[in-house]
Amino acid sequence: LRCTPAHPSIYPHTLTFTLHWPCRSATSNSSMHLSRGVSLPLLALVLLGVAASWSSPVDALKVIGAGLPRTGTATTKKALEILGFGPCYHMFVILEGGRSEDISTFVNASKGQEVDFRRVYKDFNSAVDFPTAMYYKELMELYPEAKVVLTVRKVEDWHESVRTTIREFSRPGSLTRSAFALSPYMTHFLELADSIWNVFFEGRIEDREWAIGKYHSWVAEVKRSVPAEKLLVFDVREGWEPLCKFLGVPVPQERFPDENSGAEVRLHLWLAKGGIVLAPAIVALAAFFLVRGLYRLVSPTPSKPKPSADRQQKKNE
């Protein structure tokens, strides 16, 4: 593709684009070309449109999750991404690292400070789980075209799952929390976790009756606050049908996902605890063998004693 001025004295704002391509046939091996004059203002508009289509960033959430953690939010995240509403923001995104600014944003929001949620979600099409769900009202104002998905499950199962999984990771005095404290990033993350347990759950998540009441009041509040046509109350056991109908997309061929089950999280927790307990012993054992090896390396090898003259004479006899 070659661009040259076309009659600059007559049409000063016009460029000629010449496209060359090889034309090979049984009777020809020559090149052909096509020239076309294009107005510069028109060209600028076309190029801007192409650039926008290639590089336009995600700038608006299309789906906002208002469900509490451990209500199938990881499964919903995966389902939304399969349906084309990814990437989806989830607590996993924070745990993967590199989101210190997000952590500070959510901690400050829990204190009632004004924050920039658009910065947090600028690269995402959807968002579920905590801390997102805590601020679904603010996000609805920022993204008025977004739809809201309220994930739900049997409340007694929900509380047991929270108590034995995610709460255990950050419980004060727990082994996992002590391990988290060894990392500056995870120490920062614990500030976010504490803001969830102490502000949203008012430090009472262990109180089963209170927590169940909080669950019911939250579900009722979301139903009151979100217009019915923009709200889907969703149990992940229902599968693709209600979610796809709500979002106006076809049901995919692949199986509905099943992510981050309670048993899976408890296994990870057990492995983490086992690793924390065994780590000092493993380090001590490794240090022992290292010191032993170094000692043998630097210590002189003892030489065999020379036989006495009498013993040598008897040996010769």
Tens-of-pLDDT digits for all 317 residues of the chain?
A: 444 444 443 334 444 444 443 444 444 444 444 344 445 444 444 344 434 333 334 568 999 999 999 999 999 999 999 999 999 999 999 999 999 999 999 999 999 999 999 999 999 999 999 999 999 999 999 999 999 999 999 999 999 999 988 888 888 888 888 888 889 999 999 999 999 999 999 999 999 999 999 999 999 999 999 999 999 999 999 999 999 999 999 999 999 998 755 455 444 444 443 443 444 445 444 555 555 555 555 555 555 555 555 555 555 55
Q: Is the pTM of this model over 0.85?
A: no
C-alpha gyration radius of the chain: 33
CA distance 117 to 196: 17
Residue 236 burial (CB count, 10 A): 22
Which pLDDT score, from 0 to 100, does residue 44 have? 44
Which pLDDT score, from 0 to 100, does residue 292 have? 54
DSSP assignment of the chain equals -EEEESSTTT-TTEEEEEEEEE---SS---EEEEEEEEEHHHHHHHHHHHHHHHHPPP-S-SEEE-PPTTSSHHHHHHHHHHTT--SEE-HHHHHTS--HHHHHHHHHHHTT----HHHHHTT-SEE-STTGGGGHHHHHHH-TT-EEEEE---HHHHHHHHHHTHHHHH-TT-HHHHHHTTSHHHHHHHHHHHHIIIIISTT-TT-HHHHHHHHHHHHHHHHHHS-GGGEEEE-GGG-HHHHHHHHT-PPPSSPPP--S-HHHHHHHHHHHHHHHHHHHHHHHHHHHHHHHHHHHHHSPPPPPPPPPHHHHHHHH-
Which pLDDT score, from 0 to 100, does residue 175 have? 81
- Beta-bridged to residue 232, according to DSSP, are 149
Which pLDDT score, from 0 to 100, does residue 147 have? 98
Which pLDDT score, from 0 to 100, does residue 165 have? 87
Give 228-231's long-range contacts (Cβ < 8 A, gap of 24+): 230/146, 230/147, 230/148, 231/147, 231/148, 231/149, 231/150
**What is the separation of C-alpha 176 from the centre of its chain, rounded to a whole number of angstroms?**
20
Which pLDDT score, from 0 to 100, does residue 81 have? 97
